[in-house]
Amino acid sequence: MRNVVVLGIGMTQFGKHPDKSLKDLGREALYRAVQDAGIELSQIEAAYVGNAAAGLITGQECIRGQVILSGAGLTGIPVINTENACASGSTAFHLAWMAIASGLYDVVLALGAEKMTHPDKNRAFAALQSGTDIEQLSSFPGYEEHKEGQSIFMDLYASEAREHMMKYGTSLETLAKIAVKNSYNGSLNPYAQYQQAQSLEAVLQSRMISDPLRLKMCSPIGDGAAAAIVCSEKIARQFTTKPVYVTASVVVSGSSSKDQKIDTVQRAAEKAYEVAAIGSEDLQVMEVHDAAVPGELLAYEQLGLCPPGESGRLIESGDTEIGGKIPVNPSGGLISRGHPIGATGIAQIAEITWQLRGQAGARQIRNQPKAGLTENVGGFLNGDNGTVNIHILKR
C-alpha cells in the first residue's frame, strides 16, 4: 500500500452557529483545507464525508455529502457518505486514507460536518441515542436512571467513572482536573467552542449531569466542520517539503463475545502501534475521545500511557498538560474544543497535524513533536464501543 500524506487541513470554530447551515460549515472547513494544502478545488478527485445526525435533526439523509459539497461548488466527483456515530469523521478519514493508499486516487477530501443545535433540543439527544441499538435501550448502562433532555452516553461515562473510583480510589477532584486541563488548552485555541479556562472549583460546582459527572466535565452540543486534503506522497512533494504522513489508520468495532477479554480501545491501539511499528513511548502528543472526562482517564491506560489504575496519578502529575511529557488534548479536547459529532475525528487529525508542523500557536507543545495519535470512539453496543478509530501521524 502507498504512503499517505495529510496535505491540508481546515476547520470552522466549533460552537453554536444558529445562522450557519451544514453547507455553510462544510464549505468553510473545505475552503480552508484547500487553501492550506495549496491545491485547487478541482484537483480533488473524490470525497469521503462523515455526518451522523442530520437525518434525525433536519431530515437530510441519503446524499448528505453531495448536498453539503454542492454548497461549495464541488460536484461531479465520487462522494461516499459514511457514519459511525461520534467517530463518523475519523471513519471518513480512514476511507480517504484507503483511497490514496490503494492507488485509486491521488488527491481526496475527508470532510466531517455536523449541526447538532436545533430549536428542538431533543433532536440532538435522539440522534445521540441512535448511537446504540435503539431496540435495546433498556439494557443501556444507566438507562433506568436516565434523565430526559441529555445524552444517554453521559450515563455511560458516569458509570465508567464510578467504576474507576471504586476500583482504584480515583477521586472526584482528579476527574475534574482533566476538565480543568482541557479548558485551559481550549482557552488557547481559537477554534474551540469554549475558550475560558475553568478553575477546579468551577468544574466541581457546575450542574450535575449524571453522578459523578458535572456539566463542565462533559462535551457540549455544538456545530462545526473539519476537513483534510489527503494525497499520495508523489503529489505531496509538489506542494510541501515537510509532509505529515498517516502511518496507521485502524478501525475496529466492539465485540459482543464474552471471550473477548481485551478492551476494544486497547485492541485498536495495539493494532495501530503494530502497523506504525512504534510504541506509545514514541508519541509526543495525543488527541483522545474525552466526550466526558472518564473517556480521557481510561484512554491513558488503554493507549498505554500508564498501567491500569494509574491514570489518576498521571493526570495529577501534570504530564499530560501542554508543557508535560506527553500532552493529551492540547486542542481542549471534546470538552472544550467541542464535539459536533461527525466533525470531531477530523478536528483531532487537524490538531495533530498543526502540532507536528509547529503551527499550533499558543498551545504548541515543546520540542518539535515527531509523532502523534488520535483516538475517536463512536456508539455503544452490547456492552462495548460501536467503533474505535485510531490514527497515527508522523512527520
Residue 266 makes contact with a second copy by CB under 8 A = no
Nearest approach in angstroms of CB 94 to a second copy is 8
Nearest approach in angstroms of CB 246 to a second copy is 13
Using CB under 8 A, pick the residue from 3, 31, 41, 58 that binds a second copy. Answer: 58
- Going by C-beta distance under 8 Å and a sequence separation of 6 or more, which residues neighbour residue 393? 6, 244, 245, 246, 247, 349, 352, 353, 356, 371, 372, 373, 374
Is 146 in the active site?
no
Residue 238 makes contact with a second copy by CB under 8 A = no
Rounded to the nearest angstrom, the gap between the alpha carbon of residue 361 and the centroid of all alpha carbons in its chain is 20
For residue 10, list its beta bridge partners.
Answer: 227
DSSP string over 30-57: HHHHHHHHT--GGG--EEEEE-SSHHHH
Rounded Cα distance between 51 and 215, Å, is: 25
* Residue ranges in 67-96 that form contacts with a second copy under rule CB under 8 A: 67, 70, 73, 75-85, 88, 91, 94-95
**Grid coordinates of 216:** 463542565
Nearest approach in angstroms of CB 82 to a second copy is 5
Contact characters 121-160, a second copy, x per CB under 8 A:
-----xx--xxxxxx-------------------------
Rounded Cα distance between 16 and 87, Å, is: 20
Residue 340 makes contact with a second copy by CB under 8 A = no
Nearest approach in angstroms of CB 46 to a second copy is 8
Q: What are phi and psi of 16, to 5 degrees?
A: -90, 115
- Going by C-beta distance under 8 Å and a sequence separation of 6 or more, which residues neighbour residue 140? 132, 146, 152, 155, 156, 380
Interhelix angle 152-168/172-187, nearest 10 degrees: 130
For residue 110, list its beta bridge partners.
Answer: 48, 228
Nearest approach in angstroms of CB 136 to a second copy is 9
Nearest approach in angstroms of CB 108 to a second copy is 11
The DSSP symbol for 378 reads E
Using CB under 8 A, pick the residue from 6, 9, 29, 56 that binds a second copy. Answer: 56
Amino acid identity of 308?
Answer: P
Expressed in angstroms, the distance from the first to the final Cα of the chain is 18
Q: Are 265 and 302 in contact (CB under 8 A)?
A: yes
Is 94 in the active site?
no
Residue 24 makes contact with a second copy by CB under 8 A = no
Choosing from 17, 86, 146, 289, the catalytic residue is: 86
Nearer to a second copy, 22 or 236 (CB): 22
Total binding residues for a second copy by CB under 8 A? 63
Residue 246 makes contact with a second copy by CB under 8 A = no
Nearest approach in angstroms of CB 386 to a second copy is 4
Using CB under 8 A, pick the residue from 139, 171, 196, 260 that binds a second copy. Answer: 260
Using CB under 8 A, pick the residue from 18, 40, 59, 149 that binds a second copy. Answer: 59
Residue 41 makes contact with a second copy by CB under 8 A = no
Residue 193 makes contact with a second copy by CB under 8 A = no
CA distances, 45 to each of 74, 76, 77, 120, 350 (Å): 10, 9, 6, 37, 21
List, by residue number, the catalytic residues.
86, 339
Residues that bind a second copy (CB under 8 A): 1, 21, 46, 52-53, 55-56, 58-64, 66-67, 70, 73, 75-85, 88, 91, 94-95, 98-99, 101-104, 126-127, 130-135, 251-257, 260, 264, 378-379, 381-382, 384, 386-387
